[in-house]
Amino acid sequence: MEATEVVELAASGKPKVDFTGATWLFSSQGVGDVQIAFVDGYIGMRDGRQEDGPILVFTPGEWRAFVLGARDGEFDLT
């Protein structure tokens, strides 16, 4: 019988992910200061101008849907 790992959940219902020491990446294209990091199978996204601010956490499926939506102009507010 395998041991079951107990995972602490955030208020969002997603596992709490420790982004301390994560390598944050940013795009050299476009405008903005969005940074992303990959930790424990999750993707974190934050505002690079507020590095101590909140981090949005995505599952791989959520990240894929977000990226595809952005490519299709789903979030274009103009």
pLDDT in tens for each of the 78 residues of the chain? Answer: 455 555 677 777 777 899 999 999 987 666 668 999 999 999 999 998 898 999 999 999 999 999 999 899 998 887
**Interior angle at CA 51, CA 6 and CA 70, nearest 5:** 85
Residue 5's pLDDT is 53
Interacting residues of 47 by C-beta distance below 8 A, sequence separation 6+:
33, 34, 35, 53
pTM score above 0.85: no
